[in-house]
Chain A
C-alpha cells in the first residue's frame, strides 16, 4: 500500500502541499481528483520518488520512496508531458526498460504493441501525442509494476484506446494485484473504474473515501407533499445541505444514506419523491466548488 503522512512541500513562496494524508490500499484503483493547481501532479511526483518532501513521509509498503531503488523498481510513473530518449523507437526504449526493471514481460509487450497497433521500429518522436501516451503505457505495463502511477493518462486518447487502456489496467489489478493511482479530470470515466477517490483542494486532502461510500453518503431529492403535510419538520432528522423550493416541489441535497432518506420522507407519504445519488462529477463540483452558484449545476 501507498501511504502519505503529513506531507509538506513548498515551492519558493507557494505552499503546494500541506499536511497531506493519503492511503491507497493494495490492489485498488485510486482516483486522485482536484481542481487545476490543487497539487495533484505534485503529490504523484512525490509518490513516484521524483520530489522530496520538505517534511512528512511518503511510503510504499512501509518503505520511504525517495531514493529507494527497491521500491522504484516496482513502480512506474507516466507523467502528463512525456519524454523519451531522442531518436529512440519503441523497440529500443523497450530494450532499455527491460534492462532497467527487474521484471519484464516480453510477451505482454509484443501483444500490447500489436493491440495498440504501434509500429515499434518508428521513432517515438514521430508519433502523435496520443500514440506517445500509448507507447509510454505499453512500456510501463510491460515492466509489470506493482504500483502504477498515472497523471492524466487518458487525456487525448480516443474512446477505443481508452477502453483498451482500462482493460489492461484492470487486467493488471486482477491478475497481479497491481495498485493503480490515477489522476484525471474525466470524472465520469474515473467513476466507472476507481474504487477509492481522493479529492485534493489547495494542497490538502479534502475527502478520501471509498467511491461507493462516497456516493452513498449524499443524495439529491425531489419531493412534493400534499397540502396537509406541514412545511416545517418535513425533513427533520436529515442533514439538509441545500434546499430550494420551486413552487410545490422541494429540491434538496442531503447528506444521508438512502435508507434514512426513504424512511424520513417516504414515511410522510410524498406525492412526488425522487431520490438520486450524485455522480462523482456532481460531488466534486459541490465539494470543491462550494458556492451556491454551483448548486444549480447539480440540481435538476
Chain B
C-alpha cells in the first residue's frame, strides 16, 4: 500500500477509489456503444446489406455515434476526475493527502483512461466474439477495395479496436491538458472543445492569409489534405482508420509529449488560482492572442469583402478587428473593464509586431514561397488537374464522377518540362498575379502537386490561375502533352474499364439518333484513341468547334458485382481527327452529323464591347449585330468558330438556333441575347481567328439594328 505510492509514481488506492466512484461512466459508455454498435450486429440474423454496410462504416471509424462517444466519455471522465481542482477546499484536501503531485496526476490520468477506454475495449471484444456477419460472395470482393485485410476479419476488428483506443487516448489527453490549464468547469469544457479544433483553426487562418497574399498558394487542395491529418478525429473517419503509419506515429508522439507537458504543468500549477478561469499566467496571453487572431481575421476579410475588395479595407479591418478582439479578450480574462494598463499595451504591441512581420513576409514573399521551385533531384513525380489543359474543348477525357487529377508523371523529360513551366510562372508572377480577379480574361487553374523524395517535405503543392494566353503556346506544356506518359494517362479505355457499354453522339447539345453495335463502338473508339495519340499540342489547344461530342459509358471490369460501378466520360471529336472522321464516313454516320450542320440556316454575329460606360460595366456599351445566311459562310463559321471566348469584354459571338433544340426550352444554355431574342448555341471568334478577317466588311453580312 505504501510502497506503490512511492515506486512507479502512482497510487493504487486512489485509482481504486476513482474507479469505485465513477463506475457509472464506463457502464453508460458501454451501453451506448452496445446499442449503437453491437446490438445491430446481433440483430443481423441473415445477410442484410444495410447491416453489413453499417458494420463496415463502424469498423471504418465512420460511425457518427461512436465518434461522438469518443469525444464525450473522455471529456466526462476528465471533468469528473479533475473536478477537485476547481475549488480551493477540495484542492487543499487532495494535496494535503499523502501523494506527490506526480502520483496524484498519474493516478487520475490512468483512472480516466481506464474509465473511458473500458467501453471501447469491451465493444471490441464483443465484436471479436460475435464475429463477421454472413457475407455473400460478391461482398468478399469489397475487401479488395482498400483494406490490407479481409472484410470483417478479426484483424479488421482488432484494427478498429486499436485505432479507437488511440483516438480515445488522444482526445482524453487533450481534455486532461485543458483540465490542468483551466480552473473551473465551464472553462474546462470550452477549452477541451477548442483544443480539438485549435490546430485546424490555426491552419485555416494561416491558409487564409497565405491564400490572399501568396501567388500559387493552393487552398482547396491543401486544406483537404493538410488539415485532415491534424487531428485523428478528422483523419480517422476520412481515411477509414488508415491515415498512414507516419500519422499514427505522430499521434502517439503527440500523446506522449502532451502527457509529459501536462504532468509538468500540474506540478507547477498554482493552487491558489483554483476557481479562476485560467490557471497559468501564460495562458492569459495565449488566449488573448488567439481571440485577437480570430477577431482580426474575421473583420479583415469581412471588411474587404463588404467594401469591395480593396487592400485598404483589408488593413482597416485588420486594425479594427485586432483592437476590438484584443481588448475584449483582456476584459474577459481579467474580469474587469479597466484593462488600459501597461501590460495590455505591451502584449498588444508584441502581437501587432508579430502580425506585421508575418504579413510583410507574405507581401514581399520573404519566405520564398512564390519563387520556390523544387530541387530537381528530389522530384519523384507530379500530378496536375485535367481541366488545366483544355477549355471545354473536350480534348481531356472528362470523367463525370471522378475529379481526380492526372497522377504519377514520372518521365524525367516531363519532370523537367513541368519544372520549366513552374519556373516561367515564378518569373512572370508580377504580371500573372491577380488574373483570377479579372473575370473577363479567360483563365484556367493549374493544380500542381509534386511528390518529393526524402523524409520530410515530401510534397509541394501549388495552385495558380493562369490566363489561357500564357499556357497556350508554352513549349514545356507542349513537351508534356505530346509525351507518351500523357497520352497513356489521357485514354478513354483503361484496364479497369475496357468495355464501352454505350457511345452517344451529340452536337451543339443535341443528341443524335445513333446506335452503335459493340463492334462498332470498339472500332470507332480505337480510331479516336489513335487520333488522340497523334495529336500535337497546337491541335490539342485548338479551340475550334468540334465535329461532335461523345458520351461514353464504360463498365467495371469486375462483372457480376452486386453494385457495378460504371464510368461516364465525355470526349470531343474535332474535325482534324482524321481516322475518326474516316471511320464515320466509311460507316455512314458522317452525313447524319453534317445534316445537323446543314440544318443551321443562318447565323447572327454580335460584337460585344464592355466597359466604356463606367456606370454600367456589365452592360455592353456598344453592340454591333450582323446576320448572314450564305451557306459557305455558315459552314465556315461552324467549322472555324471557337468553343469559348478568351476575352469577355470584347468578343465576337456567333449565335445560331439549332432545330433539334425546341423553343419551348426557354432556358437553353446560352440564354437570351440582351435584346431578348433567343438562340441556343454560340461559338466565338477570338483575336487572330482568320474568319474574322474574312467577315470584316464582307458584303454577305447584313447589318442588324443595334440593341439599345
Query: Roughly how many angstroms separate A81 CA and B91 CA in the complex, as a whole number?
Result: 10
Report whether over half of chain B's contact residues are helix, strand or loop; otherwise say mixed.
helix
B88 and A100 within 8 A (CB) = no
A11 CA / B276 CA spacing, docked (Å): 13
Q: How far is the CB of A245 from chain B (nearest CB, A)?
A: 50
Q: A83-B84, A83-B87, A99-B13 are in contact. Are A69 and B92 (CB under 8 A)?
A: no
Write out the residue numbers on chain A whose beta carbons fall within 8 Å of the beta carbon of B272.
11, 51
A168 part of interface (Cβ distance < 8 Å): no
Which of A11, A67, A82 meets B93, CB within 8 Å?
A82
A96 touching B17 in the complex, CB below 8 Å, given contacts A69-B98, A72-B97, A72-B98: yes
Q: Which of B1-9, B220-228, B578-586 faces chain A?
A: B1-9
B202 lies within 8 A of chain A by Cβ: no
Q: Give, as a whole number of angstroms, the nearest-CB distance from B502 to chain A.
A: 70
A67 and B95 CA atoms in complex are apart in Å by 9
**A79 in contact with B6 (CB, 8 Å):** no
Interface contact B96-A77, CB-CB below 8 Å: yes
CB < 8 Å neighbour of B96 from A72, A87, A88: A72
Q: Of B84, B98, B102, which is within 8 A of A101 by CB? A: B98
Asked if A86 lies at the interface with its beta carbon under 8 angstroms from chain B, I say yes
B21 touching A49, Cβ below 8 Å: no
Contact flag A83-B98 (CB < 8 Å), given A73-B2, A102-B2: no
Candidates A76, A81, A85; contact of B88 at CB < 8 Å: A81
Q: Which residues of B contact A101 (CB under 8 A)?
A: 98
Q: In the complex, what residues of B have CB within 8 A of residue A85's CB?
A: 17, 21
Contact A79 B93 (CB under 8 A): yes
B100 in the interface (beta carbon within 8 A): yes
B21 proximity list for chain A (CB < 8 A): 85-88
Residues of A within 8 A of B17 (CB): 85, 96
Q: A73–B89 contact, CB under 8 A?
A: no
Q: Mark B88-124, 1 if CB is under 8 A from A, else 0.
A: 1111111111111110000000000000000000000
A-B contacts besides A48-B96, A83-B94, A96-B13, 19 pairs, CB < 8 Å: A11-B270, A45-B92, A48-B95, A49-B95, A50-B92, A51-B272, A69-B6, A73-B2, A73-B98, A79-B89, A79-B92, A81-B92, A83-B89, A83-B93, A88-B21, A100-B14, A101-B98, A102-B2, A149-B96
Residues of A within 8 A of B1 (CB): 99-100, 102
Docked-complex contact B96 and A79, CB < 8 angstroms: yes
- Residues of chain A with a CB closer than 8 A to B265's CB: none
* Contacts A/B (CB < 8 Å), 9 sampled: A11-B272, A45-B96, A51-B271, A72-B99, A77-B92, A83-B84, A83-B94, A87-B21, A100-B1
> In chain B, residues 252-289, which have Cβ atoms closer than 8 Å to a Cβ of chain A?
270-272
Q: Are B89 and A100 in contact, CB atoms less than 8 angstroms apart?
A: no
CA distance A87 to B20 in the complex (A): 11
Which one of B84, B92, B100 lies within 8 Å of A67 (CB-CB)? Answer: B100
Q: How far is the CA of A79 from the CA of B16 in the complex (A)?
A: 25
A182 to chain B, nearest CB (A): 15
| Residues 154 to 191 of chain A near chain B (Cβ within 8 Å) | none
B96 touches A82 (CB 8 A): no
Q: Would you list the 7 A-B pairs with minimal beta carbon distance, nearest first? A: A81-B89, A77-B96, A99-B13, A83-B90, A72-B98, A50-B95, A48-B96
Nearest chain A CB to B88's CB is how many angstroms away?
A: 7
Residue of B whose beta carbon sits closest to that of A88: B21
Contacts of A45 in B (CB 8 A): 92, 96
- Report the separation of the CA atoms of residues A111 and B25 in the bound assembly, to the nearest whole angstrom: 36
In the assembled complex, the Cα of A73 lies from the Cα of B92 at a distance in Å of: 16
* Cα(A99)–Cα(B99), bound, Å: 12
Could you tell me the distance between the alpha carbons of A87 and B21 in the complex, rounded to whole angstroms? 8
Distance (Å) between the CB of A129 and the closest chain B CB?
Answer: 12
B1-40 interface (Cβ within 8 A of A): 1-2, 5-6, 11, 13-14, 16-17, 21
Q: Is the interface of A mostly helix, strand, loop or mixed?
A: loop
Which residues of A lie under 8 Å from residue B97 when comparing CB positions?
72, 100
Question: Interface extent on A, as a size class?
Answer: 20 to 34
B89 cross-chain contacts in A, Cβ below 8 A: 79-83
> Which B residues from 473 to 523 make CB contacts under 8 A with A?
none
Residue of B nearest to A42 (CB): B272
Known: A81-B88, A96-B17. A69 touches B100 (CB 8 A): yes
B271 near A50 (CB under 8 angstroms)?
yes
Q: Point out the residues of chain B lying under 8 angstroms from A99, CB to CB.
A: 1, 13, 16
Q: How many Å from the CB of A82 to the closest CB on chain B? A: 6
**Residues of chain B contacted by A100 (CB below 8 angstroms):** 1, 11, 13-14, 97-98
Please report the C-alpha to C-alpha distance between residue A50 and residue B99 in the assembled complex, in whole angstroms.
10
A49 touching B90 by the CB < 8 A rule? no
Residues of B within 8 A of A81 (CB): 87-89, 92
Residues B93 and A69 in contact, CB atoms below 8 Å apart = no
A72 to B91, CA, bound (A): 16
For the complex, what is the distance from the CA of A100 to the CA of B98, rounded to whole Å? Answer: 7
> What's the Cα separation between A13 and B95 when bound, in Å?
24
Within the complex, what minimum Cβ distance (angstroms) separates B333 from chain A? 14
Question: Among the listed A69, A102, A149, which residue makes an inter-chain contact with B99, where contact means beta carbons less than 8 Å apart?
Answer: A69
Chain A positions within 8 Å of B96 at CB level = 45, 48-50, 72, 76-77, 79, 149
Q: How far is the CB of A180 from chain B (nearest CB, A)?
A: 15
* Binary per-residue interface labels of chain B (64-102) against chain A in the complex, 1 for a CB within 8 Å, 0 otherwise: 000000000000000000001001111111111111111
Roughly how many angstroms separate A87 CA and B6 CA in the complex, as a whole number? 28
Q: CA separation between A80 and B89, bound complex, in Å?
A: 8
Residues of A within 8 A of B271 (CB): 50-51
Contact with B along A59-100 (1 / 0, CB 8 A): 000000001010011001101111101111000000010011
Cα A85 to Cα B97 in complex, Å, equals: 13
Residues of the A chain whose Cβ atoms lie less than 8 Å from the Cβ of B84: 83
Q: Complex: how many Å from CA A50 to CA B98?
A: 10
B-side contacts of A79, CB under 8 Å: 89, 92-93, 96
* Cα(A11)–Cα(B94), bound, Å: 20
| Closest chain A CB from B18 CB (angstroms) | 9
Interface residues in A31-70 (C-beta closer than 8 Å to B): 45, 48-51, 67, 69
Residues of B within 8 A of A72 (CB): 96-99
B98 proximity list for chain A (CB < 8 A): 69, 72-73, 100-101
- By beta carbon, the residue of chain A nearest B94 is A83
Residues of B within 8 A of A102 (CB): 1-2
User: Complex formed: what's the CA distance from A26 to B84 in Å?
Assistant: 33
Chain A residues with CB under 8 Å of B87's CB are 81, 83
Chain A residues, CB < 8 A from B100: 67, 69
Given A11-B272, A50-B95, A51-B272, check contact A67 B101 (CB 8 Å).
yes
| Nearest A residue to B270, CB-CB | A11
Nearest to B89 among chain A residues (CB) is A81
Closest Cβ of chain B to A97, distance in Å, is 9
Closest B-chain residue to A80, C-beta based? B89
Inside 8 A of A77's CB, which chain B residues have their CB? 92-93, 96
Return B100 CB to nearest CB of chain A, in Å. 5
- Chain B residue nearest in CB terms to A101: B98
Give Cα A67 to B266, complex, Å.
13
Within 8 A of B (CB), among A114-160: 149
User: Using Cβ atoms and an 8 Å threshold, which residues of chain B touch A86?
Assistant: 21
Least Cβ–Cβ distance between A259 and chain B, in angstroms: 45
